[in-house]
Structure 1
Amino acid sequence: MCGIVGYIGPKQAQNILLEGLSKLEYRGYDSAGLAVYNGETIGVSKSKGRLSVLEDKLKVQGLPGSLGIGHTRWATHGKPSDANSHPHVDGAGRFAVVHNGIIENYIELKEELIAKGHVFTSETDTEVIAKLLAELWDGDLVSTVKKVVSRLEGAYALGIISEYEPDKMVAVRQASPLVVGLGKEENFIASDIPAILKHTRDVHILEDGEMAVLTAEGVTLMKTDGTPVSREPMHVQWDVETAEKGGYDHFMMKEIHEQPKAIRDTLSGRVKEGLVDLTREVGLSEEEIRGIEKIHFVACGTAYHAGLVGKYVMEDLARIPVETDIASEYRYRNPIITDKTLVVVISQSGETADTLAALREAKKHGARVVAITNVVGSSVAREADDVIITWAGPEIAVASTKAYTSQLIAIYLLGLYFAKIRGTRPVEELKEIVKHLTELPGKAEEVLQTEQIVAEFARSIANHEHLFFLGRGLDYAVALEGSLKLKEISYIHSEAYAAGELKHGTLALIEENIPVIALATQQYIYDKMVSNIQEVKARGANVLGLAAEGDTELIKSVDRVIHIPKTIDLLMPVLTVIPLQLLAYYACTERGYDVDKPRNLAKSVTVE
């Protein structure tokens, strides 16, 4: 989710690039940089920190020239630093590249290039692209770029310039957004439309496996194998504010729809030969993994709910006893921690004060700490022993959506990795689970098609002040997150209950026409859940049921059903939560509240 801008034309590129990057600041970033061809060489200036730091540096020594690329970085490989900032260049400075995405095979490529004498100056995966351009240079920029991308595995949006052909810029897309802007005797590239909207409203949105060759005079589209591509440009009619949100009314909705990509990116590079491989992220030896006697998941809010799913996942797959704790309670309850205890802390920002304090408490008592976080270089990432980064990209809305589903994916990866090492599941069975895991991005896209059904139900509950969620097993963990989402942004009082607890007090709260959301996706306990639903229906509740695709029975017990694409029970939380996020969103808009900035809440809680 980094920002890319590129310009070729008669004007000075520096100011256009800086202006474009400023329009992408809403996406979040930790560093910024430019590369501009000055008529003889490519000049590069980049800095860790806000765009203003780079602007101050350029006031001292600018970058003249009319061909350039710019970038704001959200760290994935390597901590935020000047050296790790983009653009990256080859050793001689003849090629410059900006990149969004993840190169899965960068370590193999890097080792190959080092063996050939290339010297690396950063920790990034992107630098291998610049070095490959130099290594594979054949005298033609387009031909060389084709050779380079044929060697890359993963996701990438690339902007490339070279002093060898200063009348060209090449852009390539593979599973990471990139647009080409069409101007008069000038052309542009950008990772998102707002960066270039001041200069043009005519754009080509590149598709996967496509590249664009830009000159000042025009743009040529082709596949990366050279096959020509011909289509009419799109004319953008959005204003800048709407464009920042990708055409959606709110960042939360944009981020809900970004979940298939966030899931795909978090899986990227971590599945090899049908099994999970986390050896690069988790430094525990196989002997240490086999020796773990207990796991503590520790987190706050939405991340805590991810940890509740983690308890089910880790106990099921790796057969390790798990406790899930609210971070603000953990360090005050004198938890039993030994050197055989693994503590997994979860934090979107990596700066959550309570979670950070719990991490330090765990380390003080000798525990090994694994962090699951969305921010490279954050406090949690720096202080943990091992880090699994969730590549969700920046999340702007206060109510977390794509960060939560990415955390779930990281937990599944950890559980499957531990199960492989500990031998608690047959290899073929693990491969089958991994297969289902890799199908989740496509299934998440299917879930998003339920949006209008959810919106209709949201309108029916908007005037209610109380609502209940019910679930059993993993459905209960998801129900807690659905309830939190609804409370956070619609201000409807809602509670989530384990459905088996109904007769132990909760039924007293059920009255005529009260809305109930009932999750019934766990097949091993399906019949019990249906009985619980019938108990609330008998007392007049208006029930929306969530069931797996193909379930024709639940509609007999509820008022309406949303069907979720079928996967194995263990993985259903990733899909089931999406309609609950949509429900919260539409209930909020129906009630006229600010979706992205709910009252009294902050995105990152940095005080206890």
Structure 2
Amino acid sequence: MCGIIGYIGNQNKKETIINGLRELEYRGYDSAGMAILQNDDLKVFRAVGKLTNLESTIINAKLHDEVFCGYGLAIGHTRWATHGSPTEINAHPHIGTQSALVHNGIIENYKELKQELESQGVVFSSQTDTEVIVHLFESYAKNYTAQEAFSKTIQRLIGSYAILLITKLEPNKIFYAKQHSPLMIGVCSKQHDEHKGGAIFFASSDAALIGLVDKVVYLQDGNCGEIDMYGFQNLHNIQPFYANKISAQKEGYRFFMEKEIYEQESILLETMMGRVSEDGIILDELDSDFFERFRSIAICACGTSHHSALVGKYLIERKARVRVTTHIASEFRYAKPVLEKDELFIAISQSGETADTLQALKLAKDEGLITLAICNVDNSAMVRLADYSLLTRAGIEKGVASTKAFATQVMVLWIFSVLLGIKRKRINEIGIKSEIKAMLNAQKATKVQAQIHDKIKRLSRRYLHGHGFFFIGRDIFYPLALEGALKLKEISYLHAEGYPSGEMKHGPIALADSELFTLALMPKNLLYNKNKSNVEEIIARDSTICAITPLDFDLADDVVKIPNYQSYMEEFFAMMVILQLLALEIAVRLNRDVDMPRNLAKSVTVE
């Protein structure tokens, strides 16, 4: 979710790091920092906000140019807050007495590591999970070499990470480690000699190394080591580097939306880190007595976030047996809603700045309700206003049509519903294990299979005409049908509607003919036979049917088969990806602007 830059060499390190971070601004961030180690002198600079603020901080330090020129090490970072607010003290790099470190990812066991270090007298200055890493390293370094200390540190970490560390104990080397977060090492072979050195670059994305390197090593999960300016040739899997800025930002994908669909698998892992494990489910952001403070729940949102709210209603009522109402935020204030004092008000927004939802949240606050924001942006207006917040950790989403934001919102609501069910004693130990297994499998179900995507590309050419689309599903798959229809509308400009499958015969079926395309969501694990009957009613009226299902369904004109999963939530996430890809491929064939569809904005900050 954040940006990392590292450098070993003789160039101006301030310019090298700032320029590299600037190429990663597209990923989104709320603070930035850099550290330089040269002539046994470690200097750290950090600032909240944009890179211009970091540059001003460095200028105000009034340092001589020699600090930035000549041989040395440097690391830089742009942070998207997860643990701790976006403040200067929480910004990276984090420092010990003689070391500095930058980190992307989430350290799942940071609390127990922090308690262990505090018992040894270590004093922490930030709220972050990252700070434990540098202090743990320095704790080991008291009794081991720097290499051994770093290795032992990495072995203790549970979670996801891309890490760069510099230390006075080894002033010519950068230490690195990778697990579930991208990290690469590059070199310009024309300027590099294995005996004389040259320059070594680190980055979390191709975009930062364009024009600087022509050879790279993409580190693999589990890679851990250190390197000086002569060590590049000792790395494995060196390959040529070809990239331009736009393709690098898109990481080889045609569109940002496509990239964001593909990265849902890794992003959902970020969403679950520290919250879901084989040992149980926790939400540290909520007080121990939080779940006892309300009797019912109201969820309010707009657009895609409202569809996730509808999913949340099904999940919470089913798993926790707590009554839930859902509200479209643009209607909420003007409907004179009845709000109960013992009701929890949940506002959902990707940006945290959506005007309609923000005003609804303010109304709930004024009425004295307990409020919870489910949001992707720390320090956003909603997060600041709400009593509690749960970050979705989706990272920046550049495609206007939301994909990974929806996936992460649903996952957070699922986690919340199960934890509420546990607290209300509606889910027993067997049920907990079953839910955890389903969550872990659902995250894997979002992995895009090449053969499925290829099939959808071929299939899309059959769905470019006609007078409209129906997306239908039952139960929790009804809001998914709404979301599938919205995705198609947003980026293809074709008319599409989402309906509960059972509602077809109550009016909409009047539109059914061969020029009406129906996308039928038919999970095996939830109301399959009911769904099948509803679909057959539409088939009898000659509608063209595309069924998304794990089962054979010969009556459909087209079938996109998903794997045979054990739970309906795994099927939900698998079908979600198929609907996103289908909308994408139809829009591509119609030559639409996929990432920036007409008339739409990413964050709607007006009523």
TM-score range, shorter chain: over 0.9
Q: Deviations over 1:158-190 (max 9, x none)?
A: 011112211101111011111111231211111
Q: Secondary structure at the match of 1:576?
A: helix
Taking a change above 3 Å as real, the CA distance of residues 540 and 443 of structure 1, as seen in their structure-2 partners, is: same
Give me the whole-angstrom Cα distance separating, in 2, the residues matched to 1:522 and 1:329: 36
Equivalent residue for 2:259?
254
Report deviation, 1:250.
1.0
Taking a change above 3 Å as real, the CA distance of residues 448 and 313 of structure 1, as seen in their structure-2 partners, is: farther
> Does the 8 A contact of 1:546 with 1:564 survive in 2?
no
* 2:374 alignment partner, one of 355, 366, 372: 372
Equivalent residue for 2:46?
46
Equivalent residue for 1:226?
none
Report deviation, 1:83.
1.0
> Does the 8 A contact of 1:89 with 1:95 survive in 2?
yes
RMSD, aligned CA: 1.7
Moved more, 145-154 or 212-221: 212-221
Taking a change above 3 Å as real, the CA distance of residues 114 and 526 of structure 1, as seen in their structure-2 partners, is: same
Give me the whole-angstrom Cα distance separating, in 2, the residues matched to 1:328 and 1:567: 38
Q: Secondary structure at the match of 1:545?
A: strand
Whether 1:244 aligns to 2:249 is: yes
Taking a change above 3 Å as real, the CA distance of residues 141 and 291 of structure 1, as seen in their structure-2 partners, is: closer
Equivalent residue for 2:361?
359
Equivalent residue for 2:399?
397
Whether 1:206 aligns to 2:219 is: yes
Q: Deviations over 1:90-124 (max 9, x none)?
A: 0x2x1010000001111111122222222222111
Q: Secondary structure at the match of 1:460?
A: coil
Whether 1:150 aligns to 2:138 is: no
> Does the 8 A contact of 2:448 with 2:577 survive in 1?
no
Report deviation, 1:236.
2.4
Residue identity matched to 1:125: D
Equivalent residue for 1:22?
22
Give me the whole-angstrom Cα distance separating, in 2, the residues matched to 1:380 and 1:571: 30
Q: Deviations over 1:243-286 (max 9, x none)?
A: 111111111111101100111111111125532112x111251x
> Does the 8 A contact of 1:338 with 1:367 survive in 2?
yes
Report deviation, 1:405.
0.5
Equivalent residue for 1:177?
182
Taking a change above 3 Å as real, the CA distance of residues 255 and 524 of structure 1, as seen in their structure-2 partners, is: closer
Residue identity matched to 2:259: K
Give me the whole-angstrom Cα distance separating, in 2, the residues matched to 1:244 and 1:455: 23
Equivalent residue for 2:203?
190
* 2:432 alignment partner, one of 430, 433, 437: 430
* 1:116 alignment partner, one of 109, 114, 120: 120
Equivalent residue for 1:596?
595
Q: Secondary structure at the match of 1:604?
A: coil
> Does the 8 A contact of 1:298 with 1:304 survive in 2?
yes
Give me the whole-angstrom Cα distance separating, in 1, the residues matched to 2:563 and 2:334: 40
> Does the 8 A contact of 2:513 with 2:544 survive in 1?
no
Gaps of 5+ in 2: 193-197
Q: Secondary structure at the match of 2:458?
A: helix
Give me the whole-angstrom Cα distance separating, in 1, the residues matched to 2:494 and 2:233: 53
Matched residue count: 592
Equivalent residue for 1:12?
12
Q: Secondary structure at the match of 1:588?
A: helix
Moved more, 467-476 or 51-60: 51-60
* 1:76 alignment partner, one of 68, 75, 82: 82
Equivalent residue for 2:343?
341
> Does the 8 A contact of 1:447 with 1:565 survive in 2?
no
Taking a change above 3 Å as real, the CA distance of residues 555 and 179 of structure 1, as seen in their structure-2 partners, is: farther
Report deviation, 1:476.
1.1
Give me the identity figure in percent. 39
Equivalent residue for 1:225?
none
Taking a change above 3 Å as real, the CA distance of residues 220 and 208 of structure 1, as seen in their structure-2 partners, is: farther
The normalised TM-score by structure 1 is: 0.94
* 1:307 alignment partner, one of 309, 320, 338: 309
> Does the 8 A contact of 2:40 with 2:171 survive in 1?
no
Residue identity matched to 2:487: K
Residue identity matched to 2:88: D
Q: Secondary structure at the match of 2:185?
A: strand
Report deviation, 1:449.
4.7
Taking a change above 3 Å as real, the CA distance of residues 570 and 249 of structure 1, as seen in their structure-2 partners, is: closer
Q: Deviations over 1:408-461 (max 9, x none)?
A: 110010011011110112221121111111122222215565111212222221
The normalised TM-score by structure 2 is: 0.94
Q: Secondary structure at the match of 1:420?
A: helix
Q: Secondary structure at the match of 1:555?
A: coil
> Does the 8 A contact of 2:277 with 2:436 survive in 1?
no
Give me the whole-angstrom Cα distance separating, in 2, the residues matched to 1:240 and 1:272: 38
Give me the whole-angstrom Cα distance separating, in 2, the residues matched to 1:524 and 1:153: 35
Whether 1:491 aligns to 2:497 is: no
Report deviation, 1:203.
0.9
Q: Secondary structure at the match of 2:164?
A: strand
Report deviation, 1:585.
0.8
Residue identity matched to 2:351: S
Equivalent residue for 2:318?
316
Report deviation, 1:214.
1.9
> Does the 8 A contact of 1:96 with 1:161 survive in 2?
yes
Q: Deviations over 1:358-395 (max 9, x none)?
A: 11111222211111111111111111111111111111
Report deviation, 1:525.
1.9
> Does the 8 A contact of 1:8 with 1:214 survive in 2?
no
Residue identity matched to 2:604: V
Q: Deviations over 1:45-90 (max 9, x none)?
A: 1100111111223234355253100001111111111111111100
Q: Deviations over 1:13-59 (max 9, x none)?
A: 21111111111010001111110013121111110011111122323
Whether 1:274 aligns to 2:250 is: no
> Does the 8 A contact of 1:45 with 1:58 survive in 2?
yes
> Does the 8 A contact of 1:283 with 1:386 survive in 2?
no
Equivalent residue for 2:195?
none
Give me the whole-angstrom Cα distance separating, in 1, the residues matched to 2:106 and 2:272: 11
Report deviation, 1:494.
0.6
> Does the 8 A contact of 2:200 with 2:229 survive in 1?
yes
Report deviation, 1:299.
0.7
Following superposition of structure 1 onto structure 2, how do residues 28-67 of structure 1 map, counting pairs within 5 Å? 28-60=28-60, 61-62=62-63, 63-65=67-69, 66-67=72-73
Moved more, 443-452 or 196-205: 443-452
Taking a change above 3 Å as real, the CA distance of residues 558 and 525 of structure 1, as seen in their structure-2 partners, is: farther
Report deviation, 1:465.
4.9
Give me the whole-angstrom Cα distance separating, in 2, the residues matched to 1:375 and 1:329: 24
